[in-house]
Amino acid sequence: MRPRIVVTRKIAEPALELLRETGEVWVPEPDRALPTEELHAAVAGADAVVSALHDQVDGAFADAAGPQLKVVSTVAVGYDNIDVPALHARDVVVTNTPGVLTDATADLAFGLLLSVTRRLGEAERLLRARTPWMFHPRFMLGTGLQGKTLGIVGLGQIGRAMARRALAFGMDIVYTGRRRADPGVERELDARYVTLDELLRTSDVVSLHCPLTPQTRHLIDADALATMKPTAFLVNTTRGPVVDEAALADALKRGAIAGAALDVFEKEPEVHPTLLELDNVALAPHLGSATTETRTAMAVLAARNAIAVLRGEEPPTPVRS
Question: Could you give the residue numbers annotated as active site?
Answer: 239, 268, 286
Backbone angles phi, psi at 233, to 5 degrees: -120, 150
- Among 249, 136, 159, 281, which Cα is nearest to 210's? 159
C-alpha dihedral, 237 to 191 to 178 to 240, nearest 10°: -10
Q: With H, G, I as helix, E, B as strand and everything else as coil, classify residue 46.
A: coil
In sign, the C-alpha dihedral spanning 203, 117, 294, 306 is positive
User: Can you tell me the distance from the alpha carbon of 60 to that of 117, in angstroms, rounded to the nearest whole number?
Assistant: 45
Task: Supply the angle between the helices 157-168 and 102-117 in degrees, to the nearest 10.
Answer: 50
Q: Are 210 and 153 within 8 A, CB to CB?
A: yes
- Among 196, 242, 235, 200, which Cα is nearest to 219's? 242
Question: Using the 8-state DSSP alphabet, how is residue 140 labeled?
Answer: T
Alpha helices in the chain (DSSP H): 13-22, 36-43, 59-65, 84-89, 102-117, 120-128, 157-168, 183-189, 196-202, 222-227, 245-254, 273-277, 292-310
User: Can you tell me the distance from the alpha carbon of 139 to that of 87, in angstroms, rounded to the nearest whole number?
Assistant: 56
Residues belonging to the chain: 321
